[in-house]
Amino acid sequence: MNFQQLRAVRETARTGFNLTDVADLLHTSQPGISRQIRELEDELGVEIFVRAGKRLTGLTPPGGTVLPIVERLLLEAENLRRAGEDFAAEGRGELSIAATHSQARYALPPAVRDFLAVHPGVSLRLHQGSPKQVVAMLLSGEADIGVATEELALEPRLAALPCYRWTHSLVVPPGTRCWPCPTRPRSRWRSWRPGRSSPTRPATPAARTSTPPSHGPASRRGWC
């Protein structure tokens, strides 16, 4: 068993079982990818992929169990490499952040500025995506930290912490009559005046964790 075999399995699943794409990603030949997968299957004693002739069409039940383990092994190998680099080049390195568009545009710039002032040797990489894409980037190891307002606290494989609160406000002309939202019985309208705070919800940063954290029920005040 070697890392090249593990990468072949992971990338085969990620590319939709297209071995030509896998060969391009790993800079090898398609027969070489097929051989690496078969050698790993022979060593494990199970078939990881469903086959239709020479094509791979999906994961077998054992493959569904093997794939997450393969992904964790490769992720920890990358973490080990980064740990060595961090100690070898103290004060330098790379930090990858995944965030939604709103967080990247409005919330992160001050934090990035302050971080770089303290750690000028660290290179920051920013990835934008939907909350689900942020979760996927964290789990795949593409990002070290994620910032979003949904999804992160719902994923048991991530450690999520509240970071700050932000608001959604509805602005209407004076005298507009507002009615309760029919889809949210507990919701109600409030008139807003300058200096009055609006209802808020937390933005949440998250990072991968090997020990799933415990989460209590999420509290949310519904407002239309």
Judging by beta carbons within 10 Å of its beta carbon (0-12, 13-18, 19+), is residue 148 exposed, middle or buried?
buried
Give residue 219's pLDDT: 36
pLDDT tens for the chain, 224 residues: list them.
Answer: 899 999 999 999 999 999 999 999 899 999 999 999 999 999 999 999 999 888 899 999 999 999 999 998 988 888 788 778 777 766 677 889 999 988 888 888 998 899 888 888 888 889 999 988 998 888 888 888 998 877 777 888 888 888 777 777 778 888 777 665 555 554 454 544 554 444 445 566 665 544 433 333 333 322 22
Pairing of β 200-208 and β 164-167: antiparallel
Q: Which domains does the chain have, with CATH numbers?
A: 3-83 (1.10.10.10), 91-154 (3.40.190.10)
Task: For residues 217 and 53, give the distance between their C-alpha atoms in angstroms, rounded to a whole number.
Answer: 49
Give residue 41's pLDDT: 94
Task: For residues 153 and 206, give the distance between their C-alpha atoms in angstroms, rounded to a whole number.
Answer: 8
Give residue 197's pLDDT: 44
Report the candidate in 125, 119, 120, 136 with the shortest Cα–Cα distance to residue 206: 136
Contact 6, 74 (CB under 8 A): yes
DSSP string, 119-177: -TTEEEEEEE--HHHHHHHHHHTS-SEEEESSSGGG-TTEEE---EEEE------TT--
Task: For residues 147 and 160, give the distance between their C-alpha atoms in angstroms, rounded to a whole number.
Answer: 9
Task: For residues 62 and 46, give the distance between their C-alpha atoms in angstroms, rounded to a whole number.
Answer: 7
Give residue 215's pLDDT: 39
Give residue 160's pLDDT: 84
**Residue ranges in the chain assigned as alpha helix (H):** 3-14, 19-26, 30-44, 61-88, 101-102, 108-118, 131-140
Question: Rounded to 10 degrees, what is the CA torsion of 91, 92, 96, 102?
Answer: 70
Task: For residues 219 and 79, give the distance between their C-alpha atoms in angstroms, rounded to a whole number.
Answer: 34
Contact 14, 25 (CB under 8 A): no
Task: For residues 159 and 97, give the distance between their C-alpha atoms in angstroms, rounded to a whole number.
Answer: 15
Give residue 12's pLDDT: 93
Q: What's this model's pTM, rounded to 2 decimal places? A: 0.51
Question: Rounded to 10 degrees, what is the CA torsion of 23, 27, 28, 33?
Answer: -40
